[in-house]
Structure 1
Amino acid sequence: MTQQGVRWTADQVLALAPDAASRKAGSKLGAAGPWSEAGSSDEGTVWGLCKGSGSKPYQTVIDLADASGPAYKCSCPSRKFPCKHALGLLLLWAGGDGAVPDGQAPDWAEQWLAGRRQRAQEKRAAGPAGSAAAADPEAARRRAERRALRVTAGATELEQRLADLLRGGLAGAEQAGYGLWEETAARMVDAQAPGLAARVRELGAIPASGPGWPVRLLEECALVHLLDQGWLGRERLPDELAETVRSRIGLPSSADGPPLRDRWLVLAQYDTADVKLTTRRIWLHGADSGRTALLLSYGAAGRAPELSLPVGLALDAEVAAYGGAGQVRAVLGDQFAPPAPTAVRPPGVATAQAAARYGEALRHDPWLDSVPVTLDRVVPVPDGDGWQLADADADSALPLTAAARSRPGLWRLVALSGGAPVTVFGECGHRGFTPLTAWAEGTGEAVRLW
């Protein structure tokens, strides 16, 4: 893992926490007091025994060399990954004060590691060819055709409902309430078009949502109409744009692009959640290729997604891209070394260039909410009731999104800047800029803002 002298920072460890409560609890366990028999190895393994409320201490082991990011095993009953004991042990290890010395992993840790690595080896040996050979191509083609017919029926029905809405006037949307939208979304689920269903639910949240809601509703209806028409006329679209439409509709796709090996800097990681699903987004930057990639991971029923990478570190790994015009989503492949500190930083642009980059991306994907952008030498400044990032060397700025203004990360950014220019990575879209990670000038450590 590491040349054992290379340690993570406490912020990089706490960035792995699934929620604020875990960060707080893990921080309390980041001292030597509750730990015994702690150790680490050059292969990227950290282990230890943590005193709990029972008679037996909790056995905690972490594999930092796992191909999909750090992997954790703890005998505690927590369903969070990582649990507070794993976070505490990593914080103790990151301190580098000798509390987690080099050594040989105990049998209970070795057994878990051996099992994990054997399963990974068997999976690689099977490869994708095994599952492809077992599938029936003709049956798969028939299933795809049946689903396409259902989606077409759903898109046609949705077009009629949008036409009825506009014919009756947008004021009727406020009077109808959310039930009508939910019923329409359920119809799209029946049509096997989850992307359309999600957009219909978003439409239902707009009426009576504040000043200007009719304009916002009309804009979003236009985008749904455009997606419907894109699906209904997909045979006439360029291949990449047709693939983008299929993806936006919600049809499954695969990362069939050639794997790209690079030193990938972990730019940001954050979760969004609803009652059914937690979605984790991880942004990567290729040091050699200059590519930006987005990894998505999911956790059901309130569970945190398993894929977790420490912000600010880099990993030597392969990444394969999904198809589609302007697509940045990718899947993490083989990892050749565990995450390690790096001096690599993504090149930054001015705020005007960031806005232009989003505009260019809309040509390839009209439904795109935002694009990943690194801003160079910007200063957070108040702007009436909001905030903006202003260029230190030019007369232009980008407003922060309402979501960014409501998070504690804004004040971390303001404190990091102190009125001086900083480098900020985030997402730039039609609602403004959402900062995710920042670096002060002259320092190498990434500060996570979300």
Structure 2
Amino acid sequence: MNPQGERWTSDHVLALASDAPSREAGSRLATPGSWPETGTRDGAVWGLCKGGAGGSTPYRTVVDTAGPDFKCSCPSRKFPCKHALGLLLMWASEEAAVTDGAPPAWVEEWLTARRQREKKTSGGAKAPSGPPGSSPSCGPEAARRRAALRARRIADGAAELEQRLEDLLRSGLASADRAGSGTWEETAARMVDAQAPGLAARVRELGSTVASGPDWPSRLLAECALIHLLGQAFLRIDRLPPALASTVRTRVGLTTDAADVLTGPDTTTVRDRWLVLAQRDAEEGVLTSHRVWLRGERTGRMALHLSFSGPDRALDVSLPRGLLLDADLAYYPGARPLRVVLGARHADPVPATSPPPGGGTDAALAAYGDALRDDPWLDTWPVVLTDVVPIPGQGGAPWQLADADGESALPVDPRCAERSGLWRLTAISGGEPVTVFGECGHRGFMPLTVWDPDPVAL
């Protein structure tokens, strides 16, 4: 519950998870049958979850949503743990499952201890007042203090990670494969403890790069450089321009609530007729991430709408490709804004009558490079290619999308090599130029939609 007393959305809860397995495990626990006792009051949500030693002792889980901050009696090193995620998902989606009630003694003890620590941290300042019966730990000032505390934790984690990178470089990258995967997992766990899931994910990427094929030390060095850049940026975040600072916060794992994006003072809302370029779903255990790419007809701006579905909510399929949607989109803050929240709709969607305008392969590379200049941690950038011809790879060579004039070409992302969509693209093209939408990045181009003349998924 935020200071205004509203329950979160499931997307807000899932954004707190440190990784996909945590989201999956939390979703499985978001059922009343797993929680014999739950309750909420004044910004606190608590419950007893079946489990514990031999299954007879329930885990005690409590969340202070004003921070947020979490406490669970389980032995997990993840922060928040699956029990906290499951409890919050149930609280967010099923109001009848977590109702208002007086907190038990173990919840009160934890909240009281937190309030005492806050007073010490703030130099004995009086907690902000609120309505009768409200918790001193719930309010704008308390939320700011908790945000500052989390920022300090992340800064400590970033400093620790910097030291580990120095140790790695001092011992030599070529020796990294002798450390074993346990070292990387332990470092990632330390970043989770520091409440920096974004740093934890990048550490796991380091672990998967080691001994991953030819020239892996060079790729490992590049990943180390990006992590070093991110860590240093966060440690000096007060010196960064506001837009870049927002990007750095997002990259380390600090999330912005969708409601705040729509109503915040720095919100950038754009009204346009948005063409739905593509949809793509990715299975993450019992959850599904749903991505929808859009392009403004008047502005030419790209946008990405990201949502999650799971046991507690259905997949949103209201934006099929090929439709034009007259609507307001609010962009999440950042140096190169892309992700959006859907705002007011001004008319019913209508089918588009023609493919979107685009450019050649050189323009696609320039667009990715331009975006990368603002956000050096970007893996890909959405682009529309016009008048390109798919060329199947021969003898192990990668597929390519070549300009019709034969002057330039883009390699297809190797992760697409086994997808039947490439052959569908070739069949639709028949050797003739086509319009293709996809993501251009350092691995190559990943095609998602081709027009024939209507949009076809790849």
TM-score, normalised relative to structure 2: 0.65
Cα distance in 2 for partners of 1:402, 1:152 equals 36
- Structure-2 change in CA distance of 1:165 and 1:303 (3 Å): farther
Query: Deviation at 1:231?
Result: 0.4
User: Which runs of no fewer than 5 residues in structure 2 stay unpaired?
Assistant: 1-136
Partner of 1:219: 222
Cα distance in 2 for partners of 1:259, 1:282 equals 18
Cα deviation per residue 1:53-72 (whole Å; 9 max; x = unaligned)? xxxxxxxxxxxxxxxxxxxx
Equivalent of 1:138, from 138, 141, 145? 141
Q: Within the alignment, does 1:313 sit opposite 2:316 as a pair?
A: no
Amino acid of the residue matched to residue 203 of structure 1? L
Counterpart contact for 2:382–2:440, Cα < 8 Å: yes
Question: Which region of structure 1 is more displaced relative to structure 2, 411-420 or 296-305?
Answer: 296-305
Cα distance in 2 for partners of 1:326, 1:205 equals 27
SS of equivalent to 1:380: strand
Partner of 1:420: 432
Cα distance in 2 for partners of 1:353, 1:152 equals 38
Counterpart contact for 1:265–1:344, Cα < 8 Å: no
Cα distance in 2 for partners of 1:400, 1:367 equals 20
Partner of 1:251: 254
Amino acid of the residue matched to residue 235 of structure 1? D
Q: Within the alignment, does 1:194 sit opposite 2:197 as a pair?
A: yes
Cα distance in 2 for partners of 1:325, 1:278 equals 28
SS of equivalent to 1:345: coil
Amino acid of the residue matched to residue 433 of structure 1? F
SS of equivalent to 1:420: coil
SS of equivalent to 1:259: strand
Q: Within the alignment, does 1:160 sit opposite 2:163 as a pair?
A: yes
Cα distance in 1 for partners of 2:145, 2:354 equals 48
Cα distance in 1 for partners of 2:280, 2:165 equals 34
Question: Which region of structure 1 is more displaced relative to structure 2, 319-328 or 296-305?
Answer: 296-305
- Structure-2 change in CA distance of 1:302 and 1:161 (3 Å): farther
Query: Deviation at 1:301?
Result: 7.3
Amino acid of the residue matched to residue 229 of structure 2? L
Cα deviation per residue 1:188-208 (whole Å; 9 max; x = unaligned)? 111111111111111111112
Counterpart contact for 1:380–1:414, Cα < 8 Å: yes
User: Which runs of no fewer than 5 residues in structure 1 stay unpaired?
Assistant: 1-133
Q: Within the alignment, does 1:448 sit opposite 2:457 as a pair?
A: yes
Equivalent of 2:339, from 329, 343, 355? 329
Query: Deviation at 1:308?
Result: 4.9
Question: Which region of structure 1 is more displaced relative to structure 2, 292-301 or 367-376?
Answer: 292-301
- Structure-2 change in CA distance of 1:321 and 1:344 (3 Å): farther
Cα distance in 2 for partners of 1:338, 1:298 equals 24
- Structure-2 change in CA distance of 1:407 and 1:362 (3 Å): same
Equivalent of 2:422, from 384, 403, 410? 410
Cα deviation per residue 1:36-75 (whole Å; 9 max; x = unaligned)? xxxxxxxxxxxxxxxxxxxxxxxxxxxxxxxxxxxxxxxx
Amino acid of the residue matched to residue 149 of structure 1? R
- Structure-2 change in CA distance of 1:267 and 1:206 (3 Å): same
Percent identity between matched residues is: 60
Equivalent of 2:274, from 264, 271, 287? 264
Cα deviation per residue 1:303-344 (whole Å; 9 max; x = unaligned)? 874455211122222211111111111111122334331215
Cα deviation per residue 1:317-375 (whole Å; 9 max; x = unaligned)? 22111111111111111223343312153211110111111111111000011111100
Partner of 2:19: none
Query: Deviation at 1:174?
Result: 1.2
Counterpart contact for 1:299–1:305, Cα < 8 Å: yes
Question: Which region of structure 1 is more displaced relative to structure 2, 247-256 or 316-325?
Answer: 247-256
SS of equivalent to 2:209: coil
Cα deviation per residue 1:16-44 (whole Å; 9 max; x = unaligned)? xxxxxxxxxxxxxxxxxxxxxxxxxxxxx
Cα deviation per residue 1:76-129 (whole Å; 9 max; x = unaligned)? xxxxxxxxxxxxxxxxxxxxxxxxxxxxxxxxxxxxxxxxxxxxxxxxxxxxxx
Partner of 1:370: 380
Amino acid of the residue matched to residue 181 of structure 1? W
Query: Deviation at 1:434?
Result: 0.4
Cα distance in 2 for partners of 1:433, 1:142 equals 44
Cα distance in 2 for partners of 1:301, 1:228 equals 36
Amino acid of the residue matched to residue 408 of structure 2? S
Amino acid of the residue matched to residue 399 of structure 2? W
Counterpart contact for 1:278–1:303, Cα < 8 Å: no
Query: Deviation at 1:236?
Result: 1.6
TM-score, normalised relative to structure 1: 0.66
Cα distance in 2 for partners of 1:244, 1:307 equals 28
Cα distance in 1 for partners of 2:221, 2:314 equals 35
Counterpart contact for 1:388–1:400, Cα < 8 Å: yes
Cα distance in 1 for partners of 2:296, 2:391 equals 30
Query: Deviation at 1:394?
Result: 4.6
Counterpart contact for 2:355–2:435, Cα < 8 Å: no
Query: Deviation at 1:302?
Result: 11
- Which structure has more RCO (C-alpha within 8 Å, separation ≥ 6)? 1
Cα deviation per residue 1:412-445 (whole Å; 9 max; x = unaligned)? 10011000000001000111000011113xx2x1
Cα distance in 1 for partners of 2:422, 2:174 equals 36
Partner of 1:131: none
Partner of 2:294: 284
Amino acid of the residue matched to residue 185 of structure 1? A
Query: Deviation at 1:161?
Result: 0.9
